[in-house]
Structure 1
Amino acid sequence: MKMLIPTDLPRRLLAPWLLGAALSAGAAQASDLPVATPADHGIDPGRLTALSAWLREDGLDVHSLLVIKDGKLVFERYTDGLTRDHNYELYSVTKTVTALLAGMLIEDGKITLDDDIASVIGDYRPDLAERVADMDDIELRHVLSMSSGLAYDFAPEGDPIYYGADDRLDLIADTPTRFAPGSDFEYTDVNPVFAAAMLDAASDVPLPEYAAERLFEPMGMEHYAWQRADDRGLVSAGWGLRLRPVDLAKLGMLLINHGQWQGEQLVPADWIARMTTPQAVRDFGYYLWRQHIVDTETSYDMMGFKGQFVTALPEHDTVVVMTGMLPIEGGLRHAKNVRIFRDVVNDYVLPALDAEPDGTHAPAAQEALEEELAASLASHPEPGVFVDPTDAPQR
């Protein structure tokens, strides 16, 4: 649903109207993330204004861009009349949420990192037990760290593992291995399908229900949905989750705060430490990238197809969230959307955090930022990549 923008307001009144609509929409749902101005936290608003202007003037289809500093929402930018209440298909950011749930199920005593595909899936799906029997050396730790060695033969277009699957586990049950589990890293989406099934088997309820009860509801999330389940009701652990950007920011804060949310230990601190520790490769832990967006300091990075990102910067107590439809060419680590987000964080956000704002001009700088955010909200950038029906923002 798009915001209806009045066409009869004078230009000098339109910008404040747009800004007020953007900031007020969904404010009650995000009451646990207080709003502050950049200058309140020593952040240079001029650099954030320049960031927004660059994205707008270059026509980059960034749906949302948020900066959270010291637990406060200090920068919130939307385009095309979108509001705080819209959620987005997160693609591989879903994997990081899956890893958090894995840690919670391990803490519950429901599963361990040593549990293997053959034993867990064999009990979960007896009809597939014989076909997965030779996967007894592929453990949960391997599928969570992309080191399983599984070599699923993806179809070039419209692979049913992603679209319209009757039974994803049946599709992948005969997947061969390319290397010994734990010996190498290969980012492949067969892993989160097995992860989803193993965690679903371990939980007393379907994985989306467990996530809602143990993570989403306690963190005050709104408008969440875990879609794209197969016909048997199994979601993928690698895509299909939809969250609002403000709730993505909470996940980044959860990492910075060692699994605590508002004083409650939702995820074990030792599991957060494991997740953020490199496993089979130097920049990837358990479904979480490390120092992939920022390499000058610690960063925990969630990355999703077409431009969905969360970066948590513990040393600055800062989280940056972006969603959008941006170009994908360039490969896993250096796709154009990844490079754009690196520029957002390294060229604009970090300098804004480290700048010395001129307090004498703070009101004028804040006014300029608000006018720019209003202009961005009224802009209509074209997608930089093909758009699927699932990519449409929802409420």
Structure 2
Amino acid sequence: MRKRTIGLALVGAVLLAAGGWYASLDKETRGLLAAMPTDADVLSWSVPQRDAAFRAMDRLPVLAKANRISPSPHPLPLPVGKPLVVPGLDQYMANQRAAGLVIVQDGRIRLERYALDFDAKGRWTSFSVAKSFTSTLVGAAIQDGAIHSLEDKVSRYVPGLRGSAYDDVTIRQLLTMSSGVRWNEDYEDPKSDVARFNNAAPEQGLDATVSYMRKLPRAHPPGEVWHYNTGETNLIGVLVSEATHKPLSRYLEEKVWHPAGMEAEATWLLDKTGHEIAGCCLQAATRDFARMGLFVLANGRSGDRQIVPPDWFAQATHKQKDDGEPGRGYGFQWWTYDEGSVAAQGIFGQGIFIDPKRRLVIASNANWPRADLGPQPAAREAFYKQVQALIDAGQ
């Protein structure tokens, strides 16, 4: 299975202060956080260190700064529905190293479980699940008239890309990861782009992502080859901010967090030049990740407001590019299933699975032993099918 990696070279947490939130942690957790390797990426952290950090990415003093996203003044109710009994659930949760699991059908919670000392009030990091939120903000910007068309060249909105390989790349091609610009997403390779671009010194006056991406050469003509590229999702975030003249977190708050009725505060980590890391690092409660699925099922409507164009999710959550896996594909920063479902996915087991036919949403957070290798990814796919079968059987 191809690697889906975080687009951020995570710096080890050297916790210097002993006040506030950090002081409230138990001694073992404080020790795990303090022992994280310096100048290392998330893949070098131990499993216990990740257990401690994934719920606290926005609260580690030297990891990264974060912008806050306020909860909706009108939270969307999630009433309890008929309990869904899933055989083997305890073993599945243990094997996944799941932190949170929320299953919603017809707007009602049918199953909610937590583990790893996590709970409904905590925030867990999203990794690449954030990509699907970022693409939704493109739809909102089109609805608002801030972006004219998906066929616009990205350099129209990001002047720093002019004269680069992105001059001929459209917004649609960024959304579908088919720019044709050369990129190495192997995060375990210290010479890969995904490992190097966050540590590269940005040119003066340019966003860090733009500064790195504009130097990349072309590998294929635009639109022809699908290639997973976290850096380009970061570019989409810059593009939305430039088009709307608002920080990405503020725009998310206005266009998704409040309209979708998110109940809890969220945060979004920032890069070294102060821009939200659009391909990663949105911290939120598991129930609010589930509410994002309900927002998609509602076609981006909130009351009488249409937040994205009426046909946006019909495009975004359907196969736009072949990703090489039978029965699967890639939309606008969403992983698609030929049977009609769609998913947002992040490394280490983060996900939002949406099944329109069954009005079903499955939101999950985890800390897999490996980023996206091992038995956990296939087991999660099997779990989705198990839940679908139980619902079809009248459970």
Provide TM-score, normalisation by structure 2: 0.72
Q: Residue 392 of structure 2 corresponds to which residue in structure 1?
A: 354
Q: 2:92 matched to which residue of 1?
A: 55
SS in 2 for 1:301: strand
Change (3 A) 1:190 1:59: closer
AA matched with 2:297: I
How far is the alpha carbon of 1:162 from its aligned partner? 4.6
Percent of aligned positions that are identical: 25
5+ residue gaps, structure 2: 1-20, 27-70, 203-207, 323-327
- Show the counterpart of 1:235: 276
Q: Which position in structure 1 is the counterpart of 2:180?
A: 149
Partner residue in 1 for 2:333: 287
Q: Which residue identity does 2:125 align to in structure 1?
A: E
State the match for 1:256 in structure 2: 297
- Of residues 51, 76, 79, the one that matches 1:34 is 79
Greater Cα shift, 61-70 or 270-279: 270-279
Which runs of at least 4 in structure 1 moved beyond 3 Å after TM superposition?
A: 1-4, 28-31, 160-166, 261-264, 327-331
Q: Alpha carbons of 1:325 and 1:30: their partners in 2 closer, same or farther (altered >3 Å)?
A: farther
Q: Radius of gyration: which is bigger?
A: 1
Deviations 1:321-365 (A, max 9, x none): 11101144666xxx6432121122113x123212345xxxxxxxx
Residue deviations 1:278-297 (CA, integer Å, cap 9, x gap): 22326111001111xxx6x3
Distance 1:164 1:138, change over 3 A: closer
C-alpha contact 1:329 1:336 (8 A) present in aligned 2: no
Helix, strand or coil: the match of 1:96? helix
Residue 320 (structure 1) aligned with residue 362 (structure 2): yes
CA RMSD of aligned residues (A): 2.7
- Aligned equivalent of 2:158, options 101, 121, 128: 121
Structure-2 separation of matches of 1:355 and 1:318: 14
Separation of aligned partners in 1, 2:384 and 2:363? 10
Residues of 2 paired with 1:312 and 1:163: CA distance? 35
Specify the alignment match of 1:85 in structure 2. Answer: 121
Relative to structure 1, is the Cα distance of residues 246 and 162 closer, same or farther in structure 2, using a 3 angstrom cutoff? farther
1:307 aligned partner: 349
TM superposition score normalised by structure 1: 0.72
Q: Which residue of structure 1 lines up, in the alignment, with residue 325 of structure 2?
A: none
**Aligned-partner Cα distance in 2 for 1:29–1:61:** 33
Q: CA deviation at 1:301?
A: 0.9
> What's 1:66 paired with?
102
Gaps of 5+ in 1: 5-25, 358-395
Aligned residue type for 2:170: E
Please tell me the residue identity of whatever aligns with 2:340. T
The alpha-carbon deviation at position 165 of structure 1 amounts to 7.0
Rate the CA distance shift 1:285–1:217 in 2: closer, same or farther, 3 A: same
For the residue of structure 2 that corresponds to 1:92, the secondary structure is helix
Deviation at 1:240, TM superposition (A): 1.4
- Structure 1 counterpart SS, 2:195: coil
Question: Residue type matched to 1:146 in 2?
Answer: M
Deviations along 1:25-67, one digit per CA (max 9) or x if unpaired, are x9x99661112232xxxx5x2xx2x2422225x5431001111
Question: Cα distance 1:266–1:237, how it changes in 2: closer, same or farther (>3 A)?
Answer: same
Deviation at 1:202, TM superposition (A): 0.4
1:171 Cα offset (Å):
1.7
Q: How many residues align?
A: 311
Asked if the contact 2:166/2:214 (under 8 Å) is kept, the reply is: no
The 5-angstrom pairing of residues 162-241 of structure 1 reads 162=198, 167-221=208-262, 222-227=264-269, 229-241=270-282
2:76–2:261 contact (8 Å) kept in structure 1: no
Q: Letter of the aligned partner of 1:61 in structure 2?
A: R
User: How big is the shift at 1:261?
Assistant: 3.5
**C-alpha deviations, 1:355-385, integer Å up to 9, x for none?**
345xxxxxxxxxxxxxxxxxxxxxxxxxxxx
Counterpart residue type for residue 346 of structure 1? K
d(CA) in 2 for partners of 1:264, 1:237: 25
Per the alignment, in what secondary structure is the counterpart of residue 182 of structure 1? coil
Amino acid at match of 1:187: Y
> Is this contact kept in 1: 2:96–2:349, CA < 8 A?
no
State which drifts further: 186-195 or 91-100. 186-195
Higher helix share: 1
